[in-house]
Amino acid sequence: MDSSVAVVARLRGAALRYGTAADVLSDVDLTIAAGSFQFLIGPSGAGKTSLLRLLGLAHRPSAGSVVLFGRDVAALSTEQRDRLRRRIGFIYQDLRLIDELSVLDNAALPLRLAGVEDAKATGHARMLLAWLGLGELVEVSPSRLSMGQRQLVAAARAVVCRPGLLLADEPTSYLDPDLAARLMRLFRELTKVGTGVLLATHSRELVARHPAPVLRIAAGRLAPPVAAKPMAA
């Protein structure tokens, strides 16, 4: 193994099924290096969200292994899983903001849960929200915002702790291309401080505008990496 590149997540032969139904993910091999950025693309129902959930410790694999930050997750206690989960940022496809809290409190929540002192937590969240163009909206409820604005709040909450692994599930689906580009810039900045990013999308336009390695999933299986072009004879 190349020890010069830290690996934040590795799946080997991983499968996932919900209840007793058939596998929705089969035989998935995947490595996410620290500081890397990869797209995960595939049609609706292909298993993108399920794969992110598996990486985000929402489910245990029904076969194979999931190793996060060097720990095999099968062997972890509940407390150890919770601790590991705090190193993961997740942008949910359905956002999951808390309407009873202000935009600022939503974004600052992970820092508060991590025990960061209040002024520091809100100061950091405020800066991030301002950078995302939401500086005037920090005191309102997310229910007052457009879907695009809500998506930015969900992104702010996911990155506010500088996670080691960021799992972004269709994070630009409500954003126009300019705002999507701004969010992509934020993700690039995170990779510079070591975050491994996996971004699920079905937007060909996003991938075309932001060249990066692409993992393709169909019917719960990752396609083998595209072979390099054959050398000219």
Ligand X SMILES: Nc1ncnc2c1ncn2[C@@H]1O[C@H](COP(=O)(O)OP(=O)(O)O)[C@@H](O)[C@H]1O
Question: Interface with Mg ion by CB under 5 A: which residues?
Answer: 48-49, 93
Q: How far is the CB of 79 from ligand X (least distance, A)?
A: 25
* Contact range with ligand X by CB under 6 A, out of 43-51, 123-131, 143-151, 177-185: 43-51
Reduce the secondary structure of the chain to three states and give it as a string.
CCCCCCEEEEEEEEEEECCCCCEEEEEEEEEEECCCEEEEECCCCCCHHHHHHHHCCCCCCCEEEEEECCEEHHHCCHHHHHHHHCCEEEECCCCCCCCCCCHHHHHHHHHHHCCCCHHHHHHHHHHHHHHCCCHHHCCCCHHHCCHHHHHHHHHHHHHCCCCCEEEEECCCCCCCHHHHHHHHHHHHHHHHCCCEEEEEECCHHHHHHCCCCEEEEECCEECCCCCCCCCCC
Of the residues 14, 30, 47, 68, which one makes contact with ligand X according to CB under 6 A: 47
Q: Which of 48, 126, 150, 210 binds ligand X (CB under 6 A)?
A: 48
Asked if residue 50 binds ligand X (CB under 6 A), the reply is: yes
Per CB under 6 A, the segment of 44-52, 63-71, 81-89, 109-117 that binds ligand X is 44-52
Smallest separation (angstroms) from ligand X to the CB of 112: 29
Distances (CA, A) of 180 to 19, 133, 224: 36, 12, 28
CA–CA distance, 80 with 73 (Å, rounded to integer): 9
Stretch that binds ligand X, among 38-46, 71-79, 117-125, 139-147 (CB under 6 A): 38-46
We find the least distance from the C-beta atom of residue 58 to ligand X, in angstroms, to be 10
| Closer Cβ to Mg ion, 48 or 150, answer by number | 48
In this chain, which of 38, 49, 106, 151 binds ligand X, going by CB under 6 A? Answer: 49
Q: How near is the Cβ of 169 to Mg ion at its closest, in Å?
A: 6
Residue 18 in the binding site for ligand X (CB under 6 A): yes
Task: Choose the one of ligand X, Mg ion, none that binds residue 172, judging by a C-beta under 5 to 8 angstroms depending on kind.
Answer: none
Site residues, ligand X (CB under 6 A): 18, 24, 42, 44-50
